[in-house]
Structure 1
Amino acid sequence: MNVIDVKPTRLTLALAMAFCAPAALAQVVAGSETASKLDEIVVSAPGFAPLPQTRGQMNQTDVAGKRTGTSDTASLLKDVEGVSLYGAGGVSSLPAIRGLADDRLRIKVDGMDLISACGNHMNPPLSYIDPSNVSSVQVFAGITPVSLGGDSIGGTILVDSPDPEFARPGEGNLLKGEIGAFYRSNGDATGANLSASFANESLSVSYRGSTAKADNYEAGGDFKAAGLAAAGRGWLDGDEVGSSAYETSNQSLAMGYRHENHLVELKLGVQDIPEQGWPNQRMDMTGNHSEQVNLSYKGTFDWGALEARAYNETTRHEMQFGDDKLYWYGPNNVPNSDGIAGPILPGMNGRAAGMPMDTKGNNTGVSLKGDLVLSERDILRVGGDVQQYRLDDWWEASGKGMSPNTFWNIRNGERDRFAVFAEWEAAWTPQWLTQFGLRHETVSMDADTVQGYSPTFSATDEAAFNAADRSKTDQNLDVAALARYAPSSTQSYEFGYAQKTRSPNLYERYAWSTNGMAMRMINMAGDGNGYVGNLDLKPEVAHTVSATADWHDANRATWGLKVTPYFTYVDNYIDAERCSSGGASCTAANLTRTDGFVYLRFVNESARLYGVDVAGHMLLGTTQAMGVFAGKGSLSYVRGKNPTTGDNLYNMMPLNARLALEQKLGNWTNTVELELVADKDKVSATRNEVETAGYGLLHLRSSYEWKQLRFDVGVENVFDRFYNHPLGGAYLGQGKTMSGTDVAWGTLVPGVGRSIYAGVTVTF
């Protein structure tokens, strides 16, 4: 192992804080017994953790204990205080931080800003990386440094795959790999992963592949009547959650080249999802193919550090009715609830052969960031981002009223971002550290003219949209100011203010048809309602203040308690109001309905969110016979209100807590965890959101490591408790889901019942 002894200068701290993430530095510079990434840097000066503290931070070891129980990378975050998950497909949950979710978060996968190319957001960023390929996870909540944020208001999530490893000098070539497999009883889920890498001292090549497949899962009890999913479809038991099956595969090839303190890496990735059911959407994913190219550079110099990246991602996405939803739509030319009758096509008996919906996205980005050492006290981070995004969303004619033309939902949609930022961090004294940053973004959006299925299909909407000025440019400003005071080795206090800005996404601005069927295809909330866009939307501007008190023992090993209250006010919050003009579904009755699905238009209003996150850990005791016992827990509360209307914000997670007891004895690690969730009784009246009851779940996990083997077993929801997850959404998993009347309102997607899982991993 080569060791570089660095004198205690401010450059030492600059290197230790490179890219504003200590975990990221560890991935770049830390060594292991068999391989090196960059030469280890021994720091002899007292350092400090960069601002702000992360809400959650996981390394490869932490992830290894979680991945057997899930194929959904977003679910790795469920133990992080302040983070909750919107229900979606089996590998596509949407994380929420303190009540703000989806596009309101900046989510980076291997440094790439990925975008969901779907009107239902069925392919969110974290669905593009399998848990077996995750090396580190970091969550920044609320006040995020401008060097990590941009075009978001809720926080930042960084997920990275392993960095390249290199052979140590004089030790010959490095060859290593991993094989793993798992089984989960609920849904009969199976999966496997494989990785292999070869490296010398300067060149590293690695391959990683994974696959997972599951049938519909079962709830902890019946929540509907047993019977045919739909006419001509298979049988579903009363506890079987329709449209929750999935199949996915991911492959990646990474090549890294290292020279002294410089690292260049090229990653190529391919994802294929032939099917993924959606229990809270009216359609299913019947195909998602993505290809990614990601080129990056990292280097350290006498003056600081530099990072550059260029990437491109293409997505081809398809939606249709899956196995549990009706394929042949409509009887013998009889008008449906939207008044669509349409012509009788040859051989179709007046029925439509499903509803094909296709999307193509192309996402190209370039970023540059430098950490400049100005003095012993000061570091300046400067950089910029450019992102160019193109989207086509079209629905081919399939008969009935959906003919004879192709319906263009978004044609040549454009969303381009140009950003620059500067961030100054200063260590004034050993106790005081401050950070101040500014970021400016220009977000330019446009879309071409559209067309309906026929000249009479949403003709008024089509004419108005095509005649409107669709070119929009937003000038957005972010500000972040943070400070940390650490009066002693056992306590620190962090506080700050941030202004964060997000421009609307393409669907919020450019979805144009008020036809009921078309509106039900625009739904990023999983609530069963229909939505239409708004060309006049303004960017959301969030003002957040928060503070964190962190008490702990001097070594942060025996005990710790962290409390974070926060408050956020959002100007021009993109909420929704019921529509009363336009298509046949935007009627006066739509304004007053309280017991059914409704039709909504995206609008700017306001939002107020406040709450508290609490996390703690304690070493409980050690015995020779029983090993080491430790406890940890977290508690989160968020309250969301729309001051403009007086309504509650949609999908706010109620008070919830997790308590865990962990035992380590030799090679064994055993965990008992209690998950507690309160009633959700503050719901959105605008969306006719349904209340949920509180519940408690017990989970058991155990792992055993021996040389190159790792075994994981566990039981989720030990007592097979039935519950409705507060963010699970409306149940639309079976039947004639596109009908405005055939899907029962008020049934929620239930949580997963008891599931026993086991997995094995072999490394070499």
Structure 2
Amino acid sequence: MKTSRFLLLPLAAALSQVWAAPVAEETAELSPVTVTGTQQQKANTVKFNPKATLQPLPAGDGADLLQSVPNMSIIRKGGSSGDPLFRGLGGSRLAINADDQFVYGGCSNRMDPPTSYIHPSTFDEVVVTKGPQTVTQGMGLISGSVHFVRKDPTFHEQPYSFNGSTTLGSSGRRDASFEAGAGGKYGYARLNVSHNESDDYKDGAGNRVHSNFKRDGQMVQLGVTPTENTTIAGTYERSRGKAAYADRMMDGSKFDREAWNIRISQRNITPWLSEIEARYGSSEIDHVMDTYSLRTIRDSSTGMQIKKANNPKRRTDTGNLKAVFDWDNVNLQTGIDYMRDRHTERNGNENYASSPFKPTQSFDQLGGFAEAAWQRTDKQKLIAGLRHDQVTGTYETKADSDPLKKTKYPLTSGFFRFEQTTGNTKYYAGLGIAQRAPDYWERKKSENLRLRKETNRQLDAGLIWNSGNWHVSASVFAGKVDDFIIVEPKPMTHHTAGSASAPSHHTGHHHTGPTPTAPATGVPAGSHTPTTPAAGGHSGTPAAGGHAGHHHGPDLSARNIDAIRLGGELEVKWQFAPNWSISSNLAYTRGKNTTDNLPLAQTPPLEWNNTLAFDNGKFSAGVLWKLVAKQNRYAKGQGNIIGQDIGASAGFGVLSVNAGWKFNKYATLQAGVDNVFNKTYAEFVSRSGGFVDPAAGIKTTRVNEPGRTAWLRLQAKF
């Protein structure tokens, strides 16, 4: 709490000046509107402001921020560190790029996904690319990419800037962030500090969910501009955190990240050479998961407290060189990029820190790309790109004589897209191919099997229509994925309720029986005695319905299958009266595992979001109604590196409200209530709730979403 008070001081001081300032003519710089969804304005691309107020209230990390994007799902494990899926695909299929650096987690069971180390308030823009429709964002865009962008600040009107906010909410939620900058003709400096914390939340049934978290982040950005066409910039980031988990026996007692990068950019070199840019950076994460820092677990036979810990560390070095060419109506981006990724680990009891780190896996990547856009006419544009990467994956623990120790993966990706504007409508269609090497998590689950690289061939098409008070956008896709990597329990370790071990190699089960009439709620489980976890692992007891609390390490295996996928998003906004608008978006994805003739696991159901909003520039109000269909298409036990299908899920509807007041040109006050009717529900792609409340022995089939949540946010900007 001391940290929260410390962070609130600069904001309080700034607001004291803001409140005293005379009310001036309103500007669009700071809006009282609470964002409940995004709008697509470019082909296959969604952009939004990470500093805006969002509903439902996000956890303050990179994953929850993305839930406003249609067809983006978040796999819940607790109160933070959720894992994003776009169109049902996540992990390394959805590239996460922060300030042009790839971010990776270290936990073998995805306790710390890349987005758990990202503090959204330190970035200026988020760009989501749908499908394999660019080659400039790195390799393996099977699902797409999420790019957290940090821009060079400008100080044309005044030599300083400030943007701060503080949020208070239910379940002890306390957030604060401030960003201050200064600069001029020859350079700039920017500092950002953020803090997020929450106690355990309660679901709609009143069950306490083991979900508390605390996160702190700092960022310093310095730039020198000796000429108007030259920039030399550097960034340093530091983050610390801890989080409790409701889906497993261990908690994250340490989420440390240190990252830095240097960038040199020269622009307007010749009439045809627009820019040359070079970047180099390094990121290191240090993560600890244990059984004793945020909970107490005792051995059932001895009564002694179980103290097990695992400490993975991961360092990723990246570099790239890019050139941009412009000839009349042709733009060309070309470059090379490099990555060196090293994973180490140590484990033990509470004295784990005295043990040395041991190498586990390493990856080396070198790639080259070219992407061109040809403005053929004023209304017609052609875009194409091609890249090739060489990736080498190494098992550091295997003997040099082992043929599986080192594997080389040649990867080729590319796309072609056609865009046509007719009147108020833009049409587009593109064909893309993306290849992805097995990642750290998949290779860990298949050390005695050489997994093949994935290849996704996908067609993307859509339209964007703007006319008067109407905005409509539609995106559809259809893809075939060869050698899709699924993760599932090993045949001898997979059990279902009332059954013996699975009799066949593939352990998925497709059920289309009656859908549950209500979402899973808390079920008292009597005395709860967890299994002692092995050092470096996680252990789970069966959750309600007989599903294992979660699978991990040796219990899981990975293999290649073939799959087909299709779906899309539809967005409509109508400003039906001055200051009033209605927005609606629909998202659906359908997938099939053609090898096993099963639904493709971890594919979310149909989702429909509707918003009624009022905004006159000074006051705003909104209602968000989220509707999600039941999901009967599942393959029990099959999934990905994040989680596996549990079973069918019930449909649900959740209503949330918000209001805002811009009391002068510099400050806004916003408030909201998420899940107004205190609905008890869980998303289909949630993790199992085997450890929702370890002390009380409460378990749920899935980790239920938060119940009624009220929040208040104050923001100042000048």
Determine what percentage of the aligned residue pairs are the same residue: 21
* Deviation for aligned residue 1:88: 3.1
Give the secondary-structure state (helix, strand or coil) at the position aligned to 1:732.
strand
1:455 counterpart residue number:
none
SS at match of 1:690: coil
Aligned match of 1:635 in 566, 574, 586? 586
Residue 190 of structure 1 is matched in structure 2 by 174
Distance 1:536 1:743 in 2: 41
Q: Following the alignment from structure 1 to structure 2, what is the Cα–Cα distance between the partners of residues 583 and 685? A: 10
Aligned counterpart in structure 2 of residue 254 of structure 1, from 221, 225, 231: 221
1:685 and 1:178, CA in 2 relative to 1: closer, same or farther beyond 3 A?
A: closer
The residue number in structure 2 matching 1:496 is: 430
1:695 equivalent among 628, 652, 667: 652
1: CA distance between counterparts of 2:447 and 2:404? 14
Letter in 1 for 2:477: Y
Question: Equivalent residue of 1:132, what SS?
Answer: helix
- Give the 5 Å matches for 1:12-411: 53-59=43-49, 63-65=52-54, 70-161=59-150, 163-167=152-156, 174-185=159-170, 187-222=171-206, 239-242=207-210, 244-258=211-225, 259-273=227-241, 275-301=242-268, 302=271, 303-321=273-291, 325-329=295-299, 331-332=301-302, 353-373=306-326, 375-396=327-348, 411=359
Assess, with a 3 A threshold, how the Cα gap between structure 1 residues 240 and 65 changes in structure 2: closer, same or farther. closer
- Structure-2 residue corresponding to 1:338: none
Partner of 1:671: 622
Other structure's SS at 2:396 match = coil
Partner of 1:12: none
Give aligned pairs, total: 625
Counterpart amino acid of residue 288 in structure 1: F
- Between the aligned partners of 1:149 and 1:51, the Cα distance in structure 2 is 23
Contact 1:441 1:477 survives alignment (8 Å): yes
CA shift, 1:52, in A, is 6.2
> What letter matches 1:544 in structure 2?
Q
Deviations 1:309-333 (A, max 9, x none): 211011111001256654344524x
Residue of structure 1 in register with 2:470 after alignment: 559
Instruction: State whether residues 129 and 145 of structure 2, in contact with CA within 8 Å, keep that contact through their aligned partners in structure 1.
Output: yes
Contact 2:344–2:360 (CA under 8 A) maintained in structure 1:
yes
Deviation at 1:119, TM superposition (A): 0.8
Distance in 2 of aligned mates of 1:322 and 1:698: 37
Which amino acid counterpart does residue 348 of structure 2 have in structure 1? E
**Which string of whole-angstrom CA distances, capped at 9 and with x for unpartnered residues, describes residues 189-219 of structure 1?**
1121122222232121121111111111111
Give the letter for the 2:257 counterpart.
S
Cα distance in 1 for residues equivalent to 2:631 and 2:416: 34
CA distance, structure 1, for counterparts of residue 93 and residue 617 of structure 2 = 43
Query: Which residue in 1 is equivalent to 2:599?
Result: 648
Contact map agreement 2:117 2:255 (CA 8 A) in 1: no
Following superposition, the deviation at residue 580 of structure 1 comes to: 3.9
Q: Distance in 1 between matches of 2:176 and 2:203?
A: 25
- Cα 1:198–1:576 change in 2 (3 A) is closer
Query: In the TM superposition, what is the alpha-carbon distance from 1:660 to its structure 2 partner?
Result: 0.7
Paired with 1:308 and 1:728, the residues of 2 have a C-alpha distance of 40
User: Relative to 1, partners in 2 of residues 1:180 and 1:52: Cα closer, same or farther, differing over 3 Å?
Assistant: closer
- TM-score if structure 1 supplies the norm length? 0.76
Q: Distance in 2 between matches of 1:85 and 1:103?
A: 15
- Name the CA shift for 1:298/1:667 in 2 (closer, same or farther; >3 Å): farther
Question: What displacement does 1:573 show?
Answer: 0.6
Is 2:439 the partner of 1:487?
no
**Could you say which residue in structure 1 is the equivalent of 2:458?**
544
Cα distance, 1:66–1:204 mapped onto 2, change above 3 Å = farther
- Counterpart residue number, 1:448: 396
Higher mean Cα deviation, 199-208 or 475-484?
199-208
Write out per-residue CA displacement over residues 254-307 of structure 1, whole angstroms, 9 at most, x where no aligned residue. Answer: 10122212222211010011x201222332111111101021233421322233
The residue aligned with 1:610 is 566
Give the unaligned 5+ runs of structure 2: 1-26, 30-39, 510-545, 639-644
Deviations 1:394-430 (A, max 9, x none): 222679xxx9x9799x724211111101122211122
The one of 654, 658, 661 equivalent to 2:612 is 661
Checking the alignment, whether the CA contact within 8 Å between 2:592 and 2:598 is kept in structure 1 is yes
Residue deviations 1:335-355, cap 9 Å, x none?
xxxxxxxxxxxxxx8x57421
RMSD value over aligned CA atoms? 3.2
The amino acid that maps onto 2:376 is W
Q: 1:717 to 1:478 in 2, by over 3 A?
A: same
1:747 Cα deviation from its structure 2 partner: 1.6
Aligned to 1:438: 386
Mapped to 2, the partners of 1:683 and 1:584 lie a distance apart of 16
Question: Matches of 1:278 and 1:122 in 2, distance apart?
Answer: 8
CA distance in 2, matches of 1:471, 1:417: 13
Q: Deviations over 1:61-88 (max 9, x none)?
A: 7x24559654233222222222221213
Contact 1:51 1:435 in 2 (8 A): no
Alignment-mate amino acid for residue 469 of structure 1: L
Q: 1:718 maps to what in 2?
A: 676
Tell me the CA shift for residue 166 of structure 1: 3.1
Match of 1:570 among 478, 481, 490: 481
Which protein shows a greater Rg?
A: 1
Map 1:571-610 to 2 at 5 A: 571-580=482-491, 589-591=501-503, 595-597=546-548, 599-610=555-566
